[in-house]
Amino acid sequence: MKEHTAVDRNTYDQVMLPIYSPAQFIPVRGQGSRVWDQHGKEYIDFAGGIAVVALGHCHPALVDVLKQQGEKLWHISNIFTNEPALILAQKLIDATFAERVFFANSGAEANEAAFKLARHYAITRHSPYKTKIIAFHQGFHGRTLFTVSVGGQLKYADGFGPKPADIIHVPFNDLDAVKAVIDDHTCAVVLEPVQGEGGVMPAAPAFIHGLRELCDKHQVLLVFDEVQSGMGRTGKLFSYMHYDVTPDIITTAKALGNGFPISAMLTTENIASVMTPGTHGTTYGGNPLACAVANVVFDIINTPAVLAGVEKRHNLMVNFLNDINQKYSIFGEVRGKGLLIGAELKAPYQGKAKDILQLAAENGLMLLSAGGDVLRFTPSLIISEEEIAQGMERLELAINQLT
């Protein structure tokens, strides 16, 4: 029998579909906001699994619930319902505008459900021609053919043959551009309240309010993709809560399971009522194991202590970034909301985000980019001040080596 224990980064190139280019080290263990690789080297984690590990690695309460539910019931299918799913749905409803919940396993699946629901609602309630979806340049909604087509980056959507039709993209934060294309044949306007992958770009409040008015005027559903911005990431449970606007559908994933795959689509009773048994579904969505974990994640994140701590950590991180900028004059703009922060590289550093990520890793820091020009910071919502300071020290070392 072949021995399978000795794997390293080279193994990746030999066995995996070449769609990622992971860092040169392999993390094997994590605790809070620290991670260790195969050789025992320690890293501060400013990436948080791309805004997923909101309560840090191996949070004791989450390890506990995983073990407990793991010994009780993992999966039962949607032919039967289960207690953790019903309890989680109740919690999400109590905390938001929503009255109905659909669980899935990833952000893309929650969005796929949202887009199908928006189309189905418009077709059922209004007209078979009300199918236009308005979305935004640089938006990101996942990698299924429908979600990647709603996403606003052609480089991800092209090359796979015919796309779902009747999707139109306009510039983000440009209300006039939406006004020019919205009409009674539009079923949905879809956006991330803070664009994540597209460069960490928050929506302007006037833009969100304007969208709500336009949607009401044309009987269009306003869909917020909160896969990245939700579950406390911006300092409120969902980022729509900053805007004093009620969407019709929101999706959430990433931090909802803190790394255990689970996502949800939330909507109103009226909109949900166009769906009937068999209209949509998933095998794993809403399984008791994922929902049990998410219940504990939810209980911890949806507390004043954790949510208020996000703003404090935001300020601390931005101060550090501004200090680094004073010394190295490397960032054009530091922007974002809560712990979804982007630092835009200015000339002559534009396009160098990947180089900085590699130098950061060499100095013991896990960091993300959003495109070639923006460093992205999405750490745990409960990262300690000491870990922030240490991580920023390592970032400065990396930048110093670059300049």
Ligand X SMILES: Cc1ncc(COP(=O)(O)O)c(C=O)c1O
User: Is 113 near ligand X (CB under 6 A)?
Assistant: no
Residue 234: CB minimum distance to ligand X, A: 12
Instruction: Determine which residue in the list 107, 193, 288, 391 makes contact with ligand X, applying CB under 6 A.
Output: 107
* Positive or negative torsion for Cα 144, 150, 151, 155: positive
Residue 119: CB minimum distance to ligand X, A: 18
207 is catalytic: no
User: Is 141 near ligand X (CB under 6 A)?
Assistant: yes
Residue 107: CB minimum distance to ligand X, A: 2
* Positive or negative torsion for Cα 131, 134, 137, 138: negative
User: Is 338 near ligand X (CB under 6 A)?
Assistant: no
Query: Residue 276: what are its φ and ψ, rounded to 5°?
Result: -130, 165
Which of these segments, 24-32, 101-109, 264-272, 276-284, binds ligand X (CB under 6 A)? 101-109
Residue 194: CB minimum distance to ligand X, A: 9
Looking at the Cβ atoms of 130 and 169, the one nearer to ligand X is 169
Would you tell me how many other CB atoms lie within 10 Å of the CB of residue 10? Answer: 9
Residue 1: CB minimum distance to ligand X, A: 35
User: Is 112 near ligand X (CB under 6 A)?
Assistant: no
Residue 151: CB minimum distance to ligand X, A: 8
Looking at the Cβ atoms of 113 and 399, the one nearer to ligand X is 113
Specify burial of residue 78 (Cβ count, 10 A radius: 0-12, 13-18, 19+).
middle
Catalytic, out of 140, 146, 224, 377:
140
User: Is 225 near ligand X (CB under 6 A)?
Assistant: yes
Footprint of ligand X on 177-196 (CB under 6 A): 192, 196
- For 280-297, letters b (16+ CB in 10 Å) and e give bebebbbbbbbbbbbbbb
DSSP letters along 105-153, please?
SSHHHHHHHHHHHHHHHHHHHT-TT--EEEEETT----SSHHHHHHSS-
Catalytic, out of 130, 254, 337, 352:
254
The set of residues, in sequence order, having a beta carbon less than 8 Å from that of 161 and lying 6+ positions away, is none
CB-based contact 150:264 (threshold 8 Å) = no
User: Is 252 near ligand X (CB under 6 A)?
Assistant: no
User: Is 256 near ligand X (CB under 6 A)?
Assistant: no
254 is catalytic: yes
142-145-150-154 Cα dihedral, nearest 10 degrees: 90
User: Is 387 near ligand X (CB under 6 A)?
Assistant: no
Instruction: Determine which residue in the list 55, 66, 85, 108 makes contact with ligand X, applying CB under 6 A.
Output: 108
Catalytic, out of 103, 115, 130, 225:
225
Give the nearest residue (CB) to ligand X: 107
**Cis, peptide link before residue 202, omega less than 30° from 0:** no
Instruction: Determine which residue in the list 65, 214, 253, 301 makes contact with ligand X, applying CB under 6 A.
Output: 253
Number of residues that bind ligand X (CB under 6 A): 15
Residue 303: CB minimum distance to ligand X, A: 24
CB-based contact 203:215 (threshold 8 Å) = no
Looking at the Cβ atoms of 254 and 313, the one nearer to ligand X is 254
Looking at the Cβ atoms of 108 and 307, the one nearer to ligand X is 108
Looking at the Cβ atoms of 111 and 267, the one nearer to ligand X is 111
331 is catalytic: no
Looking at the Cβ atoms of 190 and 214, the one nearer to ligand X is 190
Distance CA 263, CA 281 (A): 13
Looking at the Cβ atoms of 49 and 56, the one nearer to ligand X is 49
User: Is 295 near ligand X (CB under 6 A)?
Assistant: no
* Coil, helix or strand at residue 334: strand
DSSP letters along 270-310, please?
HHHTT--TTSS--SSTT-HHHHHHHHHHHHHHSSHHHHHHH
User: Is 106 near ligand X (CB under 6 A)?
Assistant: yes
Which tokens in the block code for residue 92?
């999400």
Residue 31: CB minimum distance to ligand X, A: 24
Query: Residue 336: what are its φ and ψ, rounded to 5°?
Result: 125, -175
Distance CA 279, CA 292 (A): 26
- Which of 293, 216, 217 lies closest to 262, judged by CA? 293
Binding site for ligand X (CB under 6 A): 50, 106-108, 111, 140-142, 192, 196-197, 225, 227-228, 253
Q: Which positions are catalytic?
A: 140, 225, 254
